[in-house]
Chains A and B, each alone.
Chain A
Amino acid sequence: MATSLELRSKAEQRPWIIDDRQRGIFRVARRAFVEDEILLMERDRLFSRCWLYIGHESELPKPNDFLTRNVGGRELIFNRDRKGVFQAFLNTCPHRGALVARERKGNAIAFRCFYHGWAFNNNGQFAVRDADGAYPDDFNSDGCANLPKVPKLAGYRGFYFVNFDAGAVSLEDYLADSRQILDLIADQGPDGMEIIGQEQRYSIRANWKLLLENSFDGYHAGDTHSTYFEYLSDQIEMQATLPTETRVWDLKNGHASIEGEAPWGRPVARWIPAWGAQAKTEVEAIKQELIGRLGEERAQRIAILGRNTAIFPNLVINDIMAITLRTFYPLEPDRMNVCGWALGVKGETRDMRKRRLDNFLEFLGPGGFATPDDVEALEAAQRGYGALQEAEWNDISRGMLRKGGFHATDEEQMRCFWREWARRMGADQ
């Protein structure tokens, strides 16, 4: 078994990316999607050091609520204590490792490990008295029997993140300009936003970074999703065309977003004919509320424009015909587990909620008219990488030399990701 240092030196022999700003050429080595060493390094340098999304505040509405979730390869408990304070624990018994909570969610003032019965209050404090002197009197004076806390947990506008590196920069600094995108999402409802039902949990037989790229790839939509646009043309009673005016936002620290006006309907707040006349009144009222609360310019931006955003390394927030949040973690270089959530306006009417979910399902998720075709594209790319000895590079140069602002069909947003990826994976860390 090679040591991680040996692996590093092997992986670092050849460049991972070529970033030639003079010629306008940007390439990514296909081995970044394939090699085990690179995945090992990603676990260490990305998933153990970056801020990772754990959940939304609406998922834990009451004190003592908890949910369990795999984040960055670790099983976690995300909960609120008796006072309602948000916390995150590693869901592994300090005794001999078993999962302490095995339900997906619940409400509990204490957790009890079923294996040998160790118990903890919902602040993680060990809560067992062993009468027979089996353990020394000062057992747990160092906290060894408490449920281990995740080193860092922080929230921004209701979105909670964890960090396994106790020395990491603050969440706000890390998020940098991506906070503006989270603001644009969080501001959509007068009483805030909420996760709708359960998240979709599926998997893809491809490297996790392929889904990252795909989630804000404005270039592929026309080709990969022709059947979706045929469906949409029917819904809007005219030819559905891709936005002509788009922007790309470099949100710093590897985060980026593309923005533009697309032809689909938006629950907040862009009406389409298929929704009918009554919905038109309702959507107009939603827009007026936005304008009253946020001002004309910001309200227009929220209502009319859509945006696909990736927060480094693996939180996607697509505010398109509906809002989806998505995380994905590698199991192997060519296999990932995906979680896809739907986010909606708290307190929206049942009709509006149904419209939102219909919008979600028409495009997104395992049964949508688009996501399965993305999955096929990702898996097709992964299979193509089998030839990486002979065909070594991916090209994401599109629009690199463009003057006066990038378009969503350029690949600048992906270059933002890959520059940060290479920086964090590189020797300067």
Chain B
Amino acid sequence: MSIAIETRAPVEAALPSRAECEEFLIEEAALLNEGRFTKWYDLFLEGATYEVPQAGSPDEADSAEDLFYIADSYSRLGHRVARMTKKGHHSEWPASVCSRLIGNVRIVAKDDDGAHVESRFITHRSKNDVMDVFVGHHRYVLRVVDGNIRIAEKRSILDMNSLRPQGRVSIIV
């Protein structure tokens, strides 16, 4: 029993506080807003996943059973990031102008996987004189590795009823 407590304790100690999570997520949004996609990718742990289920999906939607918009492995996310700045990524070239606002940061659970953190977002994307708005919430599993907060899972759930009129998620919401 004492062994279990001992192994548990360091994990707990290594989990970030709510305030630390919030600071981290604000910095994350800043990287995206500034178009520093490679730096953003560095926040992800190897083996991490990045998913965007369909608008209005439940938090626990399963990308092996349901049709998502995005269900990236760590390696495919790498390709997505590389594509972000390519001229052949026509949807984002010339680059759209985006602004990501996040808030309501809270820790929903803590377990051996890490801290389960939720935030709300409003993202504006503007291109070709059209402004689209994406509204929803992010769900993360965050861990502290070598003193830094890192992303083990990120799921962005659009709290919308369809992708109309936005039409695409060629940005990182």
Do A and B truly interact? Answer: yes
* Alpha-carbon separation in the docked complex, A234 to B168 (Å): 24
Choose one: B67, B76, B80, B165; the contact of A196 (CB below 8 Å).
Answer: B67
Contact with A along B71-102 (1 / 0, CB 8 A): 10000100110010010111110000000000
Closest chain A residue to B93 by CB distance? A376
Most buried by A among B54, B165, B168, B170: B168
In the complex, what distance in Å separates the CA atom of A360 from the CA atom of B71?
Answer: 10
Which interface class (under 10, 10 to 19, 20 to 34, 35 or more) fits A? 35 or more
Contacting residues, chain B, for A234 (C-beta < 8 A): 79
B88, B91, B164: which contacts A375 (Cβ < 8 A)?
B91
Given contacts A224-B90, A227-B89, A383-B128, contact A372 B170 (CB under 8 A): yes
Q: Identify which of B52, B54, B86, B166 contacts A198 (C-beta below 8 A).
A: B54
Q: In the complex where A196-B67, A373-B91, A376-B91 touch, is A231 in contact with B79 (Cβ < 8 A)?
A: yes
Contact status of A354 and B170, CB under 8 A, knowing A200-B54, A227-B86, A369-B79 = no
Question: Which B residue's beta carbon lies closest to that of A351?
Answer: B64
Q: Complex formed: what's the CA distance from A377 to B162 in Å?
A: 22
Chain A CB within 8 A of B130 CB: yes
A204 at the interface (CB under 8 A from B): yes
Residues B67 and A367 in contact, CB atoms below 8 Å apart: no
Question: Are A365 and B89 in contact (CB-based, < 8 A)?
Answer: no
Which one of A354, A371, A372, A376 lies within 8 Å of B64 (CB-CB)?
A354
Tell me, rounded to whole Å, the shortest Cβ–Cβ distance linking B106 to chain A: 26
Q: Chain A residues with Cβ under 8 A from B60's Cβ? A: none
CB-CB contacts below 8 Å: A200-216 with B: 200-205
Known: A200-B69, A373-B91, A375-B91. A367 touches B52 (CB 8 A): yes
| Residues on the B chain within 8 Å of A231, using CB | 76, 79, 83
Contacts A/B (CB < 8 Å), 16 sampled: A200-B67, A201-B55, A202-B162, A202-B163, A203-B163, A203-B166, A204-B167, A224-B90, A227-B89, A337-B164, A341-B67, A366-B69, A366-B168, A373-B91, A375-B91, A375-B167
Contact mask for chain A residues 206-245; partner B; CB cutoff 8 A; 1 contact, 0 none:
0000000000000000001011001100100000000000
Given A202-B166, A203-B167, A367-B169; A372-B91 close (CB under 8 Å): yes
Chain B contact residues (Cβ within 8 angstroms of A): what range?
Answer: 20 to 34
**Secondary structure dominating the interface of A:** helix
> Do B164 and A201 touch across chains, with their CB atoms under 8 A apart?
yes
- Asked if residues B67 and A371 are in contact (CB atoms below 8 Å), the reply is no
Residues on B with C-beta less than 8 A from A204 are: 167
Interface residues of A in 377-413 (CB under 8 A from B): 377, 379, 383
Cα(A342)–Cα(B54), bound, Å: 13
Bound-complex Cα distance A226 to B93 (A): 13
Of residues 34 through 82 on chain B, the ones whose CB sits less than 8 Å from some CB of chain A are 52, 54-55, 63-71, 76, 79-80
Question: What's the Cα separation between A376 and B65 when bound, in Å?
Answer: 29
Is B64 touching A350 in the complex (CB atoms < 8 A)? yes
Contacts of B86 on A, CB cut-off 8 Å? 227
Which residues from A are CB-within-8-Å of B71?
A: 357-358, 361
With known contacts A227-B88, A373-B90, A357–B167 Cβ distance under 8 A:
no
Contact A361 B79 (CB under 8 A): no
A286 to B76, CA, bound (A): 26
Determine whether the beta carbon of A205 is less than 8 Å from that of B67.
no
Contact A202 B164 (CB under 8 A): yes
